[in-house]
Amino acid sequence: MTPSCRITVDGQPVSGVFQSRIISCEVTDKEGVSSDTCSIVLNDWPCAAIPRTGAIIRIWMGYGVAGMAYMGAYTAEEIEVEILPYRMAITGKAAEMRGKTKQHRERHWDDKTVEEVVSEIAGEHGLTPKIDPEIGKHKYEWLGQLNESDIHFVERITERLGGFFSVKDGNLVIAKKGAGAAPSGAALTPIVITPAILTPGSARIRFSDRTQYKSVKASYTDRKKGEKVDVEEESDAKGEAVYRLSEQYADETEAKKAAKSKAGDLLRRQATFSCQIIGNPAARAGAPLTFAGCRPGVDGLPFLIGTATHAYSKSGYTTSLDGDSQKGQTAA
């Protein structure tokens, strides 16, 4: 299999002589609002036209022609040229994570679901909403955006309800944490790590004995009674401490979902992994991952990919992965 990389800039294929100039191309796919990034380094002799900042870059990676996968669209944020030797470096972020999405605003919605609110915001930015149905159906009597950017506002309400938010290739995506699935409910491609595809010395699995929390507490205000009410969700049966969320939530349902989400986060962080494998364009953030035939006590443990970094160069194609436990694990 011959590694391959295809790039277009503002819809124009980067081909021929320019394609042969590629020194490296790296794409980082992350869960959440930190969003995807790309980094391209080119041999710049003879000197090529310098792309404009704001240019839309699209990248495919894989093997041959038929085996390439679309890795996403990015906006060129910074272009740097070097002289003697001549090189050009282009860095970009997910194409829709710039401009007015970061402007602070104040407004509110009455008696609206998350899907209705987020769809309105997505439309304002020319994005297509893709929202997990369970998160999307949550309804607020009143929901305020209080001197915060659209990005921060959507991230805040999504985290409260046990999800994560990102912008990918024209879509405003809200998915459920730890589900190993896309917002539509379709499963992401599971990744199985075997010795045959591992870069020697790259795999690390860490089991942590940090404070284990028995449960997570969150609170909301009962408007009828005018008093604060606590809700509690179990986390680790072996723990003794109770983790309290400091934020006040809008209602009982939101408080319970926030507590449940945090309980899951605490469990997942008990086991983490990192590794590098032969390049696999199907490895994406949020996808389930297991090890097989690697080591007793590790094989079969369910993990989730948090970050997938795909790196192409003339020396080959690799994928670096890290993440944490899908359900909360201890060494077997």
- Note the pLDDT tens digit of each residue in 78-98: 999 999 999 999 999 876 655
By C-alpha distance, which of 240, 237, 242, 235 is closest to 260? 235
In the chain, % of residues over pLDDT 90: 42
Q: Is the model more confident about 225 or about 318?
A: 318
Q: Does 296 have pLDDT greater than 70? A: yes
For residue 45, give the CATH number of its domain. Answer: 2.40.10
What average pLDDT score do residues 39-44 get?
92
Burial class (CB in 10 A: 0-12, 13-18, 19+), 84: exposed
Whether the CA torsion 262, 267, 273, 279 is positive or negative: it is negative
Structure tokens, 7 = 């790039």
The distance from CA 158 to its chain's CA centroid, rounded to whole angstroms, is: 13
Q: Does 253 have pLDDT greater than 90? A: no
Dihedral of the alpha carbons of 213, 214, 219, 222, in degrees to the nearest 10:
180
Give the three-class secondary structure for 312: strand
Same domain, 204 and 318: yes
Q: Does 281 have pLDDT greater than 60? A: yes
Dihedral of the alpha carbons of 279, 280, 281, 287, in degrees to the nearest 10:
-130
What average pLDDT score do residues 281-289 get?
92
Q: Is residue 331 part of a domain?
A: no
Cα distance between residue 149 and residue 104, in whole Å: 4
Helices (H), the chain: 17-20, 114-124, 133-136, 150-160, 252-268
In the chain, % of residues over pLDDT 70: 89
Contact assessment for residue 29 and residue 39, using Cβ atoms and an 8 Å cutoff: no
Confidence of residue 331 (pLDDT cuts 50, 70, 90): very low
For residue 113, give the CATH number of its domain. Answer: 3.55.50.10
Which residue segment(s) compose the domain that 260 sits in?
213-267
Q: Is residue 19 part of a domain?
A: yes
Contact assessment for residue 183 and residue 175, using Cβ atoms and an 8 Å cutoff: yes
Q: What pairing do the DSSP bridges indicate for beta strands 171-176 and 128-131?
A: parallel
Cα distance between residue 143 and residue 114, in whole Å: 9
DSSP 101: G
Q: Which of 41, 62, 94 is the last residue of a domain?
A: 94
Same domain, 87 and 72: yes
Same domain, 152 and 123: yes
Q: Does 115 have pLDDT greater than 60? A: yes
Confidence of residue 109 (pLDDT cuts 50, 70, 90): very high
Q: Which of 61, 94, 127 is the last residue of a domain?
A: 94
Q: Give the chain's domain count.
A: 4
Query: Which amino acid appears at position 59 of this protein?
Result: I
- Note the pLDDT tens digit of each residue in 148-200: 999 889 988 898 888 888 887 778 888 887 776 665 556 789 999 999 999 99
Q: Does 279 have pLDDT greater than 90? A: yes
Same domain, 309 and 196: yes
- Note the pLDDT tens digit of each residue in 53-66: 999 999 999 998 77
